[in-house]
């Protein structure tokens, strides 16, 4: 079901609120949860016919959730009344979960994913399901970039990134197996946070690769990333890869102000030659800006064996697709896209030794990077190979995201600048595994230098818009 009408009362003029700003307004009683939800629904009704970020949204269901929040005490839960979108590979008992494929059109599951359980317990208003590519891996989706409808928003969490960029919701959840949080965030001009591997449970989320799958968050300010991260993080016996030894406590998610500029490692990586000249120039300009702000930045070359990391990522991702979705391919392959079918075929041909080598490389790379990050506050690296591609078929290259997915390190896409095509550009900040709160504090410092993410021009409903 696509978003539909049913909204019947005007909403006061609001800029798109961050979650933190909205919570403050709710606490002061200058805003109700229903008013906030209504504003988001108006934005969706006004913009989504062009952007197509939403797979499912039922306004009556949304307003019912908001009404329950309004009847409770303000801030009785950490996400009290906050509108949030979730990627349509995440199980929801009260909404369809269609996995981006006609093969499962209209599918209704009878349980919630762990992240949905935690959102509901925290008082969030789940606005709906955002568009995903096929099985979060296959054919590109219909979503368009809010900054320019003729350009890709990235994949596969394109709907979540576009919804936040367009001000339809302050927060959205996506997933990343290669680069599907960082890249859409970079192209859509929002913050995209891929936490440490194992920090957030994946139970109830369509699997691609157990070795690589991460839950991620999109927002327009770092404080919102930390807020939602603090709610979603935690061990889950239904996901054996969640871990507890290095979890940040709830208090640790507070953004501690930096007392001195950071020390960063600049890593261009073995695929620097794939970065367009404009992308190379942009990263080096960011380096100079950070140095001018007092940061110490040292360039590091990765050892030669890192040149194979993307091959190892493909091995793990495609073999995972074959294991998890080979049955669908065998029984209904003619209903899958040629791209997804090709990836599953590649996965079926992965030799056991190649899989073992990829797992071994992941461990070895992680050990090396842990040593690097013991000497630096973070790693600065490209988020993408350059400016946002034109068209919807090509969603960009995940090569600069994949290493941090393979090694399970937390990463954040930070918007900073505009390309010659008028669309946002970003860099990627990477931290030590398990020290997500430190990475978020560092990202907060950087956003303070570069400014908040820009909003798409001319895309928002007017102050007097009514349904």
**25/74 Cα distance (integer angstroms):** 10
Would you state the structure tokens that stand for residue 145, as one six-digit string? 């970039």
State yes or no: is 156 an active-site residue: yes
State yes or no: is 76 an active-site residue: no
Which among 140, 180, 362, 441 is annotated as catalytic? Answer: 180
State yes or no: is 160 an active-site residue: no
Q: Is 380 helix (H, G, I), strand (E, B) or coil?
A: strand
**262/431 Cα distance (integer angstroms):** 12
Would you state the structure tokens that stand for residue 199, as one six-digit string? 């920090």
**437/229 Cα distance (integer angstroms):** 9
Q: Say if residues 383 and 428 touch (Cβ distance below 8 Å).
A: yes
The candidate with the shortest Cα–Cα distance to 155, out of 454, 407, 453, 389, is 389
Place of tokens 């820009």: 454
**446/289 Cα distance (integer angstroms):** 10
**467/463 Cα distance (integer angstroms):** 12
Q: Say if residues 365 and 396 touch (Cβ distance below 8 Å).
A: no
Contacts of 240 (CB under 8 A, 6+ apart): none
**Which strand (E) or helix (H) includes residue 272?**
none
Q: What angle do CA 280, 286, 292 make, to 5 degrees?
A: 140
Q: Say if residues 282 and 415 touch (Cβ distance below 8 Å).
A: no
Which among 137, 140, 156, 319 is annotated as catalytic? Answer: 156
Q: Say if residues 151 and 389 touch (Cβ distance below 8 Å).
A: yes
**236/216 Cα distance (integer angstroms):** 17
Phi, psi of 52 (to 5 degrees): 60, 55
**Residues recognised as catalytic:** 87, 156, 180
């Amino acid at each position: 079901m696509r978003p539909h009408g049913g909204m019947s009362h005007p909403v006061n003029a609001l800029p798109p609120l961050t979650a933190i700003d909205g919570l403050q307004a709710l606490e002061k009683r200058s805003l109700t949860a229903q008013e906030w939800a209504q504003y988001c629904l108006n934005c969706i009704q006004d913009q989504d016919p062009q952007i197509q970020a939403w797979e499912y949204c039922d306004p009556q269901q949304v307003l019912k959730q908001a009404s329950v929040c309004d009847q409770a005490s303000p801030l009785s839960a950490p996400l009290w009344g906050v509108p949030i979108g979730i990627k349509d590979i995440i199980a929801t008992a009260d909404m369809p979960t269609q996995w981006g494929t006609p093969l499962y059109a209209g599918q209704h599951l009878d349980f919630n994913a762990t992240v949905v359980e935690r959102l509901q317990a925290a008082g969030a208003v789940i606005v709906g399901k955002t568009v995903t590519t096929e099985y979060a891996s296959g054919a590109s989706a219909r979503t368009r970039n809010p900054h320019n409808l003729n350009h890709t928003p990235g994949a596969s969490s394109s709907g979540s990134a576009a919804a936040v960029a367009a001000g339809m919701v302050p927060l959205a959840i996506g997933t990343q197996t290669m680069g599907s949080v960082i890249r859409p965030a970079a192209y859509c001009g929002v913050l995209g946070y891929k936490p440490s591997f194992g920090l957030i449970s994946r139970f109830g989320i369509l699997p691609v690769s157990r070795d690589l799958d991460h839950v991620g968050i999109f927002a327009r300010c770092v404080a919102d990333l930390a807020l939602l991260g603090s709610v979603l993080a935690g061990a889950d016996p239904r996901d054996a890869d969640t871990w507890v030894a290095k979890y940040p406590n709830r208090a640790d998610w507070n953004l501690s102000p930096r007392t001195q500029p950071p020390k960063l490692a600049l890593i261009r990586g073995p695929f620097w030659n794939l970065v367009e000249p404009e992308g190379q120039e942009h990263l080096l300009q960011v380096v100079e800006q950070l140095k001018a702000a007092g940061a110490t930045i040292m360039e590091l070359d990765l050892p030669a064996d890192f040149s194979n990391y993307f091959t190892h990522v493909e091995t793990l991702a495609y073999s995972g697709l074959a294991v998890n979705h080979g049955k669908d391919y065998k029984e209904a392959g003619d209903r899958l896209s040629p791209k997804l079918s090709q990836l599953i075929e590649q996965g079926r041909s992965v030799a056991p030794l190649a899989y073992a080598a990829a797992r071994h490389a992941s461990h070895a790379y992680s050990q090396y990077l842990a040593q690097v990050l013991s000497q630096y506050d973070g790693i600065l690296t490209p988020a993408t190979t350059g400016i946002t591609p034109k068209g919807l078929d090509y969603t960009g290259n995940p090569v600069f995201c994949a290493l941090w997915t393979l090694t399970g390190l937390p990463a954040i896409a930070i918007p900073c600048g505009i390309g010659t095509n008028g669309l946002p550009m970003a860099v990627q900040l990477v931290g030590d595994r398990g020290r997500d709160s430190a990475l978020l504090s560092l990202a907060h410092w950087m956003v303070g230098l570069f400014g908040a993410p820009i909003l798409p021009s001319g895309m928002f409903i007017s102050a007097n818009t009514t349904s």
